Each structure stands twice: as structure tokens, then as C-alpha cells.
Structure 1
Amino acid sequence: MLLRDNVYESLRSDILTCRLAPGDDMREQDLAERYAVSRQPVREALLRLEREHLVTVQPRQGYRVNPISLADARDLLRFRLVLEPACVAEAIENANDDVLKALDEFRLFAGDHEDFIAYNRGFHSALAHASGNRRMAASLCDLIGQADRLVRVSVANVKGHDPAQLVAEHVALIEAMQRRDARTAARIIKAHVAQTEKRVLPALKRNAVIVEGRDP
């Protein structure tokens, strides 16, 4: 991987995991020191992230991690509500039995909240790749990564976050997919993503780094 891609991936990860929090100011020199590189790959990474609406350029001042807007959070989750069921349907129709059997690793979970975020991201990413559609999988994995930021920002205010219940929903989906029961799988994944919106959006409204409008 080229150096500029390493810097981009590291910086993007730091934003999505809230190591660089919404609203944080950033300067090229500070980031160059953080990642032990020159300023050029940092500048290129920041411009890529600006196009993804994760950062904003502040003329003569540097950059800022974009706050999360309720409108954009809603858009993200609604897009996921369309795309993830499509990936599940593709997987049921086209994936071989070994691909669907591999989802069994997500039947059990043990750990803390941070472990659950990683487990949850792994499960939904596995659904994306099981589709066999590379473009759909790439788009869904990007949405899943950005949704992690919503969860981390809202976690202190989330009500009804029950890892055991969420894992049970995952297991029910796995079983429906392995039976190739497209109708049941569609119902489960749509309800699962819709419940995420119902939990996360009210929590985001109570968080100080959330803005009412859209991101810049």
C-alpha cells in the first residue's frame, strides 16, 4: 500500500473510532507528527476525507472533524436500510453453503462495549461480502464504518442497548440465510436496521457534538 493510502486509512480510522472526535480541530503539521510522515500525504488524506464529508477545510486555520448532523445520520441509516437487505438477498441467492456456514462464528459474543462494536462491524461486513457483489459490499462496509461513529458518539445516551438481544437477532438472521429463507431473512434484517435508527437517533439528539442541520 502506498504511503498516502496508509495515512488516509489511519486518519479515517481515527475519525470513525472517535480518537479524533467530532468538532476537533486539526493541523497538517500536528497530524504529520502523529503519523510520522511529511505534510504532503497528510494534505492528500485530508482532501480525500473532505470529499467524504468527514472533515472541513478552514482557510488559514487548518481542518476540523465534521460534527455529526441528525439529518446526515438519518440519511446514512436509511441508505443502509435499503442496501443491507439487498446484500442479504444476494447472499441467499448466490453464496455457496461454505460462505453461509462461515457466518456461524458470529453466533456467540463475549466482551465489553468496545468488543461488541468490533463484533457487530465484523458481522455486518461479513453479510456485505457474502453477497458476492463487490460494489454493494464496498458501499455497505463504508456505511457500517460510519455508523460505528454514530454509536460511539451516542453510547452514553443510548437506551435499550442490549448486546444479548442484538446477538439473538444476528443468530436468527444467520439461520434464515442458511435455510435460504429469503422472506424471513428480509424481515429480520429490515427490522434490525430500523431498530438501530430508533435507538441511535434519539441518543444523538442528546449529545453536545450533534448539530441539527446537515454536515458542511
Structure 2
Amino acid sequence: MPVPSSSVPIRRSLLRDDVHARLRDAIVDCTFAPGEPLRDQDLAAWLGVSRTPVREALLRLGDVGLVQAEPGRSTIVAPIEEAAVRDAQSVVAAMHRLAVAEAVLTADDLARMRAANRRFAKAVRAGDVTAALAADDEFHDIPVQASGNAAVRMVLEQFTPVLRRAERLRFASARAKESVALHDRLVEACATGDPAAAEISHEIWRDLASRKD
């Protein structure tokens, strides 16, 4: 779609990270569709910033495979390629397994995971993909934060967006309820101290591509 005509100005503090996050999210939610050209001048005008942080953000997004650029040619939103999704999926699944294995979850953490999964299930039933993804993020972020592993968080921040476009297809499918059941299994395994919890978390992310209509 065309660059939106209006936008909320970005804070001057943490400008580079904010520009990167805004462009990343616009690609993940398909505001900018696969194959769409990304012109730094247009993006800078949309965000109300100079072209420098936009160019830096596009370089970062290129490093993780969300955009593609060739010398002398336009930068475009990368197509959703099976190999790229599969590679990112393997890394993300491994990081979530490690996070759950290392996490020390409190009763409050478990209650928040259950509440997030209820919101996730409600969003799936309503066909609200954006709300489903937000609830899914909240659910999985709880053990990641509880693990205290900064390296895991950094890797997930880099590679999870590559999966998010593919996940939008899963959460829009009739079989998205399978994720709800897997979330329930994970919470209960964590609650009882079952070592299988880490493998359940890995299963949730590993089987992403297979849960389609």
C-alpha cells in the first residue's frame, strides 16, 4: 500500500531504534506488502525524520531478511520465503526452549500467562489477528523475561519479526485453536515443574509452518 499520509511524530530520544521499530512493524503487519518498494525519502517524510535513520533502519532490516536491496536498484520489502522462515523458526524455537528451561516462574507469572492465553483464544475466535499476535507476544515474553537471559532476548528480537508475517497466516486460519491448546499444556507443565515444558515451548514454535488450513 502507499506510504500513509499521516503519522504520530517519533520521539527524538532513541530515534534510531524508534524508526527501526516503526518500519519493522509496518512490514510485519503488511502495511508494506512483500515486494513493495521502500523509498527512504518517502519513509522519512512519513515518520517526520531525516533520511539518515531511515537508511540505517533499512540496513538493519536487510540484515534479518525483511527487506532486500541491490546497488543501483530500489529497496523492497522481502517476499515471504520458505527457507528464510524455516531458518528463523529453528532459531526462535531453540531460544524459547532455552528460556523456558531457565525460567523461574512465579504464581503471578503463571496467572499472567493464563490470562494472556485467554485473550489469545478470544482474539482467535473473533478473527482478530492483530490482537491474537499481541496476546501471543505477551504470553511467550513472560518466560523469556523470567529467564533473565539477555542473549535470548536479543536473538528473539532479531529473528521473531521474520516469523510474524507467517504467523499472521496461522492465526487467521481455522486451526489456530491448536496454539491455544499448546499454550495450556505449556502453562500446566510449568506449574508442575515438568521438564517437558521446554520441549512443549519448542513444539509451539517448531510446528508453526504446519499449522495451516
Q: Distance in 1 between matches of 2:88 and 2:156?
A: 10
Q: Is the 8 A contact 2:67 2:77 kept in 1?
A: yes
RMSD: 2.4
Q: Distance in 2 between matches of 1:44 and 1:194?
A: 31
Q: Residue in 2 aligned with 1:102? A: 112
What is the CA distance between 1:81 and its match in structure 2? 2.6
Q: Residue in 1 aligned with 2:10? A: none
Q: Residue in 2 aligned with 1:71? A: 83
- Count how many residue pairs are aligned between Structure 1 and Structure 2: 195
Equivalent position amino acid for 1:102 in 2: R
Q: Is the 8 A contact 1:81 1:193 kept in 2?
A: yes
Q: Residue in 2 aligned with 1:206? A: none
1:87-146 alpha-carbon deviations (Å, 9 max, x no partner): 11111xx44444444323224122323211221122122232221111112323443332
Q: Residue in 2 aligned with 1:53? A: 65
Higher relative contact order (CA 8 A, sep 6+): 1
Gaps of 5+ in 1: 204-216
Q: Is the 8 A contact 1:28 1:62 kept in 2?
A: no
Q: Residue in 2 aligned with 1:198? A: 210
Partner secondary structure for residue 75 of structure 2: strand
Does residue 176 of structure 2 align to residue 162 of structure 1?
Answer: yes
Counterparts in 2 of 1:123 and 1:143: CA distance versus 1, 3 Å: farther
1:40-66 alpha-carbon deviations (Å, 9 max, x no partner): 221222222222222222333431111
Q: Residue in 2 aligned with 1:136? A: 152
Q: Distance in 2 between matches of 1:3 and 1:117?
A: 25
What is the CA distance between 1:2 and its match in structure 2? 2.6
2:27 to 11, 15, 24: 15
Q: Distance in 1 between matches of 2:145 and 2:158?
A: 12
Q: Residue in 2 aligned with 1:34? A: 46
Q: Distance in 1 between matches of 2:61 and 2:202?
A: 30
1:161-215 alpha-carbon deviations (Å, 9 max, x no partner): 233x3222212211211221123x1342233223323125xx7xxxxxxxxxxxx
Equivalent position amino acid for 1:162 in 2: A
Q: Distance in 2 between matches of 1:121 and 1:146?
A: 14
The TM-score normalised by the length of structure 2 is 0.79
Q: Distance in 2 between matches of 1:120 and 1:167?
A: 9
Q: Distance in 1 between matches of 2:173 and 2:17?
A: 37
Q: Distance in 2 between matches of 1:54 and 1:71?
A: 13
Q: Distance in 2 between matches of 1:35 and 1:57?
A: 21
> Percent identity at matched positions?
34
What is the CA distance between 1:11 and its match in structure 2? 1.0
Partner secondary structure for residue 64 of structure 1: strand
After TM superposition, what 4+ stretches of structure 1 lie above 6 angstroms from structure 2? none
Q: Distance in 2 between matches of 1:145 and 1:49?
A: 10
Q: Residue in 1 aligned with 2:132? A: 116
